Amino acid sequence: MNDRYRQVGYSSGDIGFGSRAAVLVVDWQLAFTDPRYELGGLERLHRARDETSGFLKVARAAGLPVAACYTAYCSTRDMPLWKVGAVRREFFYGHPCTEMDPKIFDPTDFTYCKNGPSMFFHTPLISYLVREGVDTVFVTGCTTSGCVRATIVDAFSYGLRVQVVADCCGDAEAGPHEDTLRDVGRRYADIVDRAKAETWIQGLQPTASQRPPGA
């Protein structure tokens, strides 16, 4: 099958890795991983959560910064006009669904709340990445076609090298997941699997995984 996008110049090369990477973890909170909650029974997300858990162990062992977010609101008055009913009913401060999944959470991570789709929108994330000297981000989380995509676009817009770890991202259905990866891979990011990402991380020199001087 002809790929019209390639024919006109999309997917023209790889972005590649820089010298200092961080892992971004989008919304691996119990709302999406615990079947007690409305959005928590999606098996594709559970598999991606487990892959992310393993990936994070490798990243933390190598000293990579990890930034993880969850979504919560005080009331519907500070909430965007979500068309997702479960968000309007459950995603409030203090609700158990806003807690980070225990397979993901680590007290050494930079963990914070966001209130829009992107991890970057009105959050301290970019300041954290600048302080850590980061030029490359591995993106993980859920959902691929929603908050993950928004985070990818913003990371690209900030000039970061974006590596999307495909098996560490999840969506309700295969179609939106695969369509999103194919599309952002044409424009903004490299699509890698966990094995490739871990191979790069494990090949870092020891000094590359340490905090920048003065951090």
Which CA distances in Å does 138 have to 34, 59, 196?
24, 10, 11
Tens digits of residue pLDDT in 144-177: 999 999 999 999 999 999 999 999 999 999 999 9
CA distances from residue 134 to 94, 151, 200 in whole angstroms, order as listed: 32, 16, 15
Q: Which residue segments constitute the domains of the chain, with CATH numbers given?
A: 17-203 (3.40.50.850)
pLDDT tier, 206 (very low <50, low <70, confident <90, very high otherwise): low
Whether omega before 143 lies within 30 degrees of 0, making that bond cis, reads: yes
pTM over 0.85? The answer is: yes
In this prediction, residues 9-23 reach a mean pLDDT of 93
